[in-house]
Amino acid sequence: MMKKGILIKSIVAILGVVLLCGGCKVANTGAAETNAAELTLKDAYKNKFYIGTALNTQQITGQDTAAIKVVKQHFNAIVAENIMKSGLIQPREGEFRFNLADQFVAFGEQHNMYINGHTLIWHSQPPRWFFTDSLGNDVSREVLIQRMKDHIYTVVGRYKGRVNTWDVVNEAIMDDGSWRKTKFYEIIGEDFVKLAFQFAHEADPDAKLMYNDYSMALPGRRNGVVAMVKDLQQQGVRIDGIGMQGHIGLDHPSLEEFEKSLLAFSDLGLEVSITELDLSALPSPRRNVGADVATSFEYQQSLNPYTEGLPDSVTEAFNARYVDFFKLFLKHQDKISRVTLWGVHDGQSWKNNFPVRGRTDYPLLFDRENQPKSVVKALIHVAQ
Protein backbone atom coordinates (compact mmCIF):
# COMPACT_ATOMS: atom_id res chain seq x y z
CA MET A 1 0.00 0.00 0.00
CA MET A 2 1.29 3.47 -0.91
CA LYS A 3 2.11 5.64 2.08
CA LYS A 4 -0.03 8.76 2.62
CA GLY A 5 2.85 11.25 2.13
CA ILE A 6 4.01 9.61 -1.08
CA LEU A 7 0.44 9.53 -2.41
CA ILE A 8 -0.03 13.25 -1.76
CA LYS A 9 3.27 14.08 -3.51
CA SER A 10 2.23 11.98 -6.51
CA ILE A 11 -1.11 13.79 -6.80
CA VAL A 12 0.60 17.18 -6.55
CA ALA A 13 3.07 16.20 -9.27
CA ILE A 14 0.29 15.14 -11.63
CA LEU A 15 -1.69 18.31 -10.97
CA GLY A 16 1.45 20.35 -11.65
CA VAL A 17 1.83 18.81 -15.09
CA VAL A 18 -1.83 19.51 -15.88
CA LEU A 19 -1.60 23.13 -14.74
CA LEU A 20 1.57 23.78 -16.74
CA CYS A 21 -0.10 22.40 -19.83
CA GLY A 22 -2.99 24.83 -19.47
CA GLY A 23 -5.55 22.73 -21.30
CA CYS A 24 -3.34 21.53 -24.13
CA LYS A 25 -3.61 18.01 -25.42
CA VAL A 26 -1.18 15.83 -23.50
CA ALA A 27 -0.12 12.29 -24.25
CA ASN A 28 1.51 10.21 -21.51
CA THR A 29 1.42 12.94 -18.85
CA GLY A 30 3.36 10.76 -16.49
CA ALA A 31 6.39 10.98 -18.80
CA ALA A 32 6.19 14.70 -19.61
CA GLU A 33 9.92 15.32 -19.19
CA THR A 34 10.89 12.44 -21.47
CA ASN A 35 8.39 13.44 -24.14
CA ALA A 36 9.46 17.11 -24.07
CA ALA A 37 12.93 16.04 -25.16
CA GLU A 38 11.45 14.11 -28.08
CA LEU A 39 8.94 16.71 -29.25
CA THR A 40 9.32 18.57 -32.51
CA LEU A 41 8.40 22.22 -32.94
CA LYS A 42 5.07 21.47 -34.58
CA ASP A 43 4.22 18.99 -31.83
CA ALA A 44 5.10 21.42 -29.07
CA TYR A 45 2.94 24.20 -30.52
CA LYS A 46 0.20 21.97 -31.90
CA ASN A 47 -2.68 23.42 -29.89
CA LYS A 48 -1.34 26.97 -29.95
CA PHE A 49 -0.60 28.06 -33.51
CA TYR A 50 0.89 26.71 -36.74
CA ILE A 51 4.68 26.66 -37.00
CA GLY A 52 5.66 27.45 -40.58
CA THR A 53 8.66 27.91 -42.80
CA ALA A 54 9.44 29.40 -46.22
CA LEU A 55 10.56 27.05 -48.99
CA ASN A 56 13.00 27.97 -51.74
CA THR A 57 13.18 26.43 -55.20
CA GLN A 58 15.63 23.65 -54.25
CA GLN A 59 13.32 22.57 -51.44
CA ILE A 60 10.15 22.79 -53.52
CA THR A 61 11.68 20.61 -56.23
CA GLY A 62 13.01 18.12 -53.67
CA GLN A 63 16.71 18.74 -54.41
CA ASP A 64 17.51 19.92 -50.88
CA THR A 65 16.62 16.61 -49.26
CA ALA A 66 18.17 17.43 -45.90
CA ALA A 67 16.07 20.58 -45.54
CA ILE A 68 12.92 18.75 -46.66
CA LYS A 69 13.47 16.24 -43.86
CA VAL A 70 13.56 19.12 -41.36
CA VAL A 71 10.42 20.66 -42.87
CA LYS A 72 8.44 17.45 -42.60
CA GLN A 73 9.66 16.83 -39.06
CA HIS A 74 9.25 20.26 -37.47
CA PHE A 75 6.80 22.37 -39.49
CA ASN A 76 3.09 22.15 -40.33
CA ALA A 77 2.73 25.31 -42.43
CA ILE A 78 4.57 26.47 -45.54
CA VAL A 79 4.93 29.55 -47.73
CA ALA A 80 6.87 29.95 -50.97
CA GLU A 81 9.87 32.25 -50.54
CA ASN A 82 9.78 33.63 -54.09
CA ILE A 83 8.10 31.53 -56.75
CA MET A 84 4.53 32.82 -56.28
CA LYS A 85 5.47 36.48 -56.61
CA SER A 86 3.96 38.14 -59.66
CA GLY A 87 7.16 38.68 -61.63
CA LEU A 88 8.05 34.99 -61.48
CA ILE A 89 4.60 33.52 -61.94
CA GLN A 90 3.55 35.80 -64.83
CA PRO A 91 6.75 37.20 -66.39
CA ARG A 92 4.92 38.23 -69.57
CA GLU A 93 1.29 39.19 -69.98
CA GLY A 94 -0.86 36.08 -70.15
CA GLU A 95 2.15 33.75 -69.78
CA PHE A 96 1.76 32.03 -66.42
CA ARG A 97 4.46 29.73 -65.11
CA PHE A 98 2.78 27.48 -62.58
CA ASN A 99 5.20 24.56 -62.53
CA LEU A 100 6.95 25.45 -59.26
CA ALA A 101 3.82 26.82 -57.61
CA ASP A 102 2.00 23.60 -58.48
CA GLN A 103 4.79 21.57 -56.87
CA PHE A 104 4.73 23.80 -53.79
CA VAL A 105 0.98 23.42 -53.27
CA ALA A 106 1.15 19.68 -53.94
CA PHE A 107 3.89 19.31 -51.32
CA GLY A 108 1.74 21.06 -48.74
CA GLU A 109 -1.25 18.89 -49.56
CA GLN A 110 0.78 15.69 -49.52
CA HIS A 111 2.02 16.43 -46.00
CA ASN A 112 -1.22 17.93 -44.67
CA MET A 113 0.30 21.39 -44.18
CA TYR A 114 -1.31 24.81 -43.87
CA ILE A 115 -0.52 26.59 -47.15
CA ASN A 116 0.05 30.34 -47.50
CA GLY A 117 0.21 32.03 -50.92
CA HIS A 118 2.77 34.86 -51.08
CA THR A 119 2.18 37.39 -52.55
CA LEU A 120 -0.39 38.74 -55.04
CA ILE A 121 0.27 42.49 -55.15
CA TRP A 122 3.70 43.86 -54.21
CA HIS A 123 5.61 46.83 -55.59
CA SER A 124 8.84 44.83 -55.58
CA GLN A 125 9.48 41.94 -58.01
CA PRO A 126 6.51 42.68 -60.30
CA PRO A 127 6.69 41.78 -63.99
CA ARG A 128 8.16 44.65 -66.04
CA TRP A 129 5.15 44.84 -68.34
CA PHE A 130 2.61 45.31 -65.55
CA PHE A 131 2.65 49.11 -65.46
CA THR A 132 3.56 50.09 -69.03
CA ASP A 133 2.21 49.89 -72.57
CA SER A 134 4.06 48.82 -75.71
CA LEU A 135 5.73 52.23 -75.94
CA GLY A 136 6.96 52.18 -72.36
CA ASN A 137 4.43 54.70 -71.08
CA ASP A 138 2.41 54.21 -67.91
CA VAL A 139 -0.86 52.43 -68.56
CA SER A 140 -4.20 53.97 -67.59
CA ARG A 141 -5.90 53.34 -64.27
CA GLU A 142 -8.43 51.10 -66.01
CA VAL A 143 -5.77 48.99 -67.72
CA LEU A 144 -3.79 48.43 -64.51
CA ILE A 145 -6.95 47.47 -62.62
CA GLN A 146 -7.81 44.94 -65.32
CA ARG A 147 -4.27 43.52 -65.21
CA MET A 148 -4.51 43.19 -61.43
CA LYS A 149 -7.87 41.46 -61.75
CA ASP A 150 -6.65 39.06 -64.43
CA HIS A 151 -3.56 38.18 -62.42
CA ILE A 152 -5.41 37.63 -59.13
CA TYR A 153 -8.31 35.74 -60.71
CA THR A 154 -5.92 33.42 -62.55
CA VAL A 155 -3.52 32.71 -59.68
CA VAL A 156 -6.02 32.50 -56.82
CA GLY A 157 -8.55 30.73 -59.03
CA ARG A 158 -6.05 28.02 -59.96
CA TYR A 159 -5.58 27.11 -56.30
CA LYS A 160 -9.14 27.71 -55.13
CA GLY A 161 -9.86 25.53 -52.14
CA ARG A 162 -6.22 24.44 -51.92
CA VAL A 163 -4.35 27.49 -50.60
CA ASN A 164 -5.52 28.40 -47.09
CA THR A 165 -4.38 32.02 -46.91
CA TRP A 166 -3.14 34.66 -49.33
CA ASP A 167 -0.87 37.63 -48.67
CA VAL A 168 -3.02 39.80 -50.91
CA VAL A 169 -1.09 43.06 -50.59
CA ASN A 170 2.46 43.39 -49.33
CA GLU A 171 4.16 46.50 -47.90
CA ALA A 172 1.87 49.36 -48.92
CA ILE A 173 2.53 51.58 -45.88
CA MET A 174 5.68 53.51 -44.90
CA ASP A 175 7.33 53.86 -41.49
CA ASP A 176 5.54 57.16 -40.84
CA GLY A 177 2.14 55.69 -41.70
CA SER A 178 1.87 57.31 -45.12
CA TRP A 179 1.15 55.38 -48.31
CA ARG A 180 4.16 53.99 -50.16
CA LYS A 181 4.28 55.80 -53.51
CA THR A 182 4.41 52.71 -55.70
CA LYS A 183 3.22 52.39 -59.28
CA PHE A 184 0.03 50.78 -57.99
CA TYR A 185 -0.58 53.83 -55.80
CA GLU A 186 0.47 56.39 -58.44
CA ILE A 187 -1.74 54.96 -61.20
CA ILE A 188 -4.74 53.65 -59.23
CA GLY A 189 -4.57 55.46 -55.90
CA GLU A 190 -5.47 54.01 -52.49
CA ASP A 191 -8.18 51.88 -54.11
CA PHE A 192 -5.59 49.39 -55.37
CA VAL A 193 -5.64 47.70 -51.96
CA LYS A 194 -9.43 47.54 -51.81
CA LEU A 195 -9.61 46.17 -55.35
CA ALA A 196 -6.93 43.55 -54.70
CA PHE A 197 -8.86 42.20 -51.71
CA GLN A 198 -12.13 42.26 -53.63
CA PHE A 199 -10.65 40.34 -56.56
CA ALA A 200 -9.02 37.76 -54.25
CA HIS A 201 -12.27 37.20 -52.37
CA GLU A 202 -14.19 36.79 -55.63
CA ALA A 203 -11.62 34.30 -56.92
CA ASP A 204 -11.77 32.17 -53.75
CA PRO A 205 -14.46 33.14 -51.20
CA ASP A 206 -13.18 30.59 -48.66
CA ALA A 207 -9.51 31.61 -48.56
CA LYS A 208 -8.32 33.83 -45.72
CA LEU A 209 -7.00 37.16 -46.97
CA MET A 210 -4.06 38.92 -45.30
CA TYR A 211 -2.26 42.24 -45.44
CA ASN A 212 1.49 41.76 -44.88
CA ASP A 213 4.16 44.31 -43.88
CA TYR A 214 7.48 44.76 -42.09
CA SER A 215 8.59 47.01 -39.19
CA MET A 216 5.08 46.70 -37.79
CA ALA A 217 6.27 47.59 -34.28
CA LEU A 218 6.91 51.17 -35.39
CA PRO A 219 4.06 53.39 -34.10
CA GLY A 220 3.75 55.25 -37.41
CA ARG A 221 3.41 52.12 -39.51
CA ARG A 222 1.09 50.57 -36.93
CA ASN A 223 -1.22 53.59 -37.04
CA GLY A 224 -1.10 53.73 -40.83
CA VAL A 225 -2.06 50.07 -41.19
CA VAL A 226 -4.85 50.40 -38.62
CA ALA A 227 -6.26 53.41 -40.49
CA MET A 228 -6.07 51.57 -43.82
CA VAL A 229 -7.82 48.47 -42.43
CA LYS A 230 -10.57 50.52 -40.76
CA ASP A 231 -11.24 52.24 -44.07
CA LEU A 232 -11.46 48.86 -45.83
CA GLN A 233 -13.82 47.53 -43.17
CA GLN A 234 -16.05 50.60 -43.43
CA GLN A 235 -16.32 49.94 -47.17
CA GLY A 236 -17.33 46.35 -46.52
CA VAL A 237 -14.12 44.86 -47.92
CA ARG A 238 -13.22 41.36 -46.74
CA ILE A 239 -9.89 41.28 -44.88
CA ASP A 240 -9.18 38.48 -42.43
CA GLY A 241 -5.78 39.13 -40.95
CA ILE A 242 -2.51 40.97 -40.64
CA GLY A 243 0.88 39.46 -41.31
CA MET A 244 3.53 40.99 -39.06
CA GLN A 245 6.87 40.32 -40.71
CA GLY A 246 9.26 39.33 -37.94
CA HIS A 247 12.62 40.52 -39.28
CA ILE A 248 14.12 41.28 -35.88
CA GLY A 249 17.54 41.99 -34.38
CA LEU A 250 19.13 41.40 -31.03
CA ASP A 251 18.12 44.85 -29.82
CA HIS A 252 15.19 45.87 -32.00
CA PRO A 253 12.27 46.16 -32.08
CA SER A 254 11.17 46.39 -28.47
CA LEU A 255 8.87 43.65 -27.28
CA GLU A 256 6.54 46.29 -25.86
CA GLU A 257 6.03 48.05 -29.19
CA PHE A 258 5.65 44.73 -31.02
CA GLU A 259 2.98 43.73 -28.54
CA LYS A 260 1.17 47.06 -28.94
CA SER A 261 0.91 46.44 -32.68
CA LEU A 262 -0.22 42.86 -32.22
CA LEU A 263 -3.01 44.03 -29.93
CA ALA A 264 -3.95 46.94 -32.18
CA PHE A 265 -4.44 44.62 -35.14
CA SER A 266 -6.31 42.04 -33.08
CA ASP A 267 -8.62 44.77 -31.76
CA LEU A 268 -9.75 45.29 -35.37
CA GLY A 269 -11.25 41.81 -35.24
CA LEU A 270 -8.43 40.34 -37.32
CA GLU A 271 -6.26 37.31 -36.76
CA VAL A 272 -2.53 37.97 -36.60
CA SER A 273 0.25 35.92 -38.20
CA ILE A 274 3.97 36.32 -37.64
CA THR A 275 4.94 35.83 -41.23
CA GLU A 276 8.66 36.16 -41.93
CA LEU A 277 10.45 35.52 -38.66
CA ASP A 278 14.23 35.63 -38.55
CA LEU A 279 16.68 37.06 -36.02
CA SER A 280 19.87 38.68 -37.28
CA ALA A 281 22.82 38.20 -34.97
CA LEU A 282 24.93 40.75 -36.87
CA PRO A 283 25.44 44.45 -36.18
CA SER A 284 23.14 46.70 -38.21
CA PRO A 285 24.50 49.56 -40.35
CA ARG A 286 21.84 51.73 -38.74
CA ARG A 287 18.89 51.27 -36.42
CA ASN A 288 15.54 50.17 -37.84
CA VAL A 289 16.82 49.27 -41.29
CA GLY A 290 13.52 47.47 -41.89
CA ALA A 291 13.08 44.99 -44.72
CA ASP A 292 12.89 47.14 -47.85
CA VAL A 293 14.72 44.99 -50.40
CA ALA A 294 15.91 48.13 -52.20
CA THR A 295 18.04 49.07 -49.18
CA SER A 296 21.74 48.22 -49.26
CA PHE A 297 24.95 49.26 -47.54
CA GLU A 298 28.58 48.89 -48.53
CA TYR A 299 30.37 45.85 -47.15
CA GLN A 300 32.59 46.47 -44.14
CA GLN A 301 34.47 43.81 -42.18
CA SER A 302 33.14 45.28 -38.94
CA LEU A 303 29.61 44.43 -40.09
CA ASN A 304 30.55 40.77 -40.67
CA PRO A 305 32.29 39.73 -37.46
CA TYR A 306 31.21 36.09 -37.10
CA THR A 307 32.31 34.30 -40.26
CA GLU A 308 33.43 31.24 -38.26
CA GLY A 309 30.37 31.00 -36.02
CA LEU A 310 28.75 32.89 -33.17
CA PRO A 311 30.60 33.42 -29.87
CA ASP A 312 28.94 31.83 -26.86
CA SER A 313 27.82 35.20 -25.52
CA VAL A 314 26.06 36.06 -28.79
CA THR A 315 24.45 32.60 -28.95
CA GLU A 316 23.09 33.13 -25.44
CA ALA A 317 21.65 36.51 -26.42
CA PHE A 318 20.25 35.02 -29.64
CA ASN A 319 18.51 32.20 -27.77
CA ALA A 320 17.11 34.53 -25.11
CA ARG A 321 15.75 36.89 -27.75
CA TYR A 322 13.93 34.11 -29.63
CA VAL A 323 12.54 32.75 -26.36
CA ASP A 324 11.28 36.20 -25.35
CA PHE A 325 9.40 36.59 -28.63
CA PHE A 326 7.90 33.11 -28.43
CA LYS A 327 6.79 33.82 -24.87
CA LEU A 328 5.00 36.87 -26.26
CA PHE A 329 3.40 34.76 -29.00
CA LEU A 330 2.27 32.21 -26.41
CA LYS A 331 0.84 34.96 -24.23
CA HIS A 332 -1.36 35.97 -27.17
CA GLN A 333 -1.88 32.55 -28.74
CA ASP A 334 -5.62 33.21 -28.87
CA LYS A 335 -4.91 36.03 -31.36
CA ILE A 336 -2.13 34.40 -33.41
CA SER A 337 -2.88 31.80 -36.07
CA ARG A 338 0.60 31.12 -37.42
CA VAL A 339 4.30 31.79 -36.75
CA THR A 340 6.40 31.30 -39.88
CA LEU A 341 10.20 31.32 -40.06
CA TRP A 342 11.57 32.91 -43.22
CA GLY A 343 13.59 29.93 -44.32
CA VAL A 344 14.58 26.48 -43.09
CA HIS A 345 18.31 26.88 -42.42
CA ASP A 346 20.85 29.68 -42.14
CA GLY A 347 22.45 28.94 -45.51
CA GLN A 348 19.30 29.90 -47.44
CA SER A 349 18.51 33.06 -45.49
CA TRP A 350 18.23 36.36 -47.35
CA LYS A 351 19.86 37.98 -44.30
CA ASN A 352 23.27 36.81 -45.54
CA ASN A 353 22.93 39.49 -48.22
CA PHE A 354 20.63 42.06 -46.59
CA PRO A 355 21.20 44.87 -45.95
CA VAL A 356 24.88 44.14 -46.68
CA ARG A 357 25.84 41.61 -49.35
CA GLY A 358 28.31 38.83 -48.59
CA ARG A 359 27.86 38.50 -44.85
CA THR A 360 27.51 35.33 -42.78
CA ASP A 361 24.40 35.53 -40.63
CA TYR A 362 22.69 33.00 -38.37
CA PRO A 363 19.04 34.10 -38.24
CA LEU A 364 17.10 30.81 -38.30
CA LEU A 365 16.51 27.84 -36.01
CA PHE A 366 18.56 25.32 -37.99
CA ASP A 367 22.22 25.72 -38.98
CA ARG A 368 23.81 25.37 -42.40
CA GLU A 369 23.96 21.59 -41.98
CA ASN A 370 20.22 21.50 -41.17
CA GLN A 371 20.95 20.64 -37.54
CA PRO A 372 18.72 22.13 -34.82
CA LYS A 373 20.38 24.85 -32.79
CA SER A 374 20.15 24.85 -29.02
CA VAL A 375 17.36 27.41 -29.30
CA VAL A 376 15.04 24.76 -30.78
CA LYS A 377 15.05 22.77 -27.55
CA ALA A 378 14.51 26.01 -25.61
CA LEU A 379 11.48 26.94 -27.72
CA ILE A 380 10.01 23.46 -27.29
CA HIS A 381 10.51 23.73 -23.54
CA VAL A 382 8.81 27.15 -23.44
CA ALA A 383 5.74 25.69 -25.14
CA GLN A 384 5.29 23.08 -22.41
Angle ∠(279,283,284) on CA atoms, nearest 5? 85
- The reply to whether 186 belongs to the active site is no
Cβ within 8 Å of residue 114, ≥6 positions away: 50, 52, 76, 77, 78, 108, 164, 165, 338
Phi, psi (5° rounding) for residue 110? Answer: -60, -35
DSSP codes, 31-60: GHHHHHHH--HHHHTTTT-EEEEEE-HHHH
> To which H or E segment does residue 259 belong?
helix 255-266
Q: For 111-139, b where at least 16 C-beta lie within 10 A, e where not — what string? A: eebbbbbbbbbbbeebbebbbeeeeeeeb
DSSP annotation of 217 reads T
Given the residues 81, 202, 276, 316, select the one marked as catalytic: 276
**Rounded Cα gap, residues 359 and 242, in angstroms:** 31
Given the residues 38, 81, 93, 171, select the one marked as catalytic: 171
- The reply to whether 171 belongs to the active site is yes
Catalytic annotation, residues: 171, 276
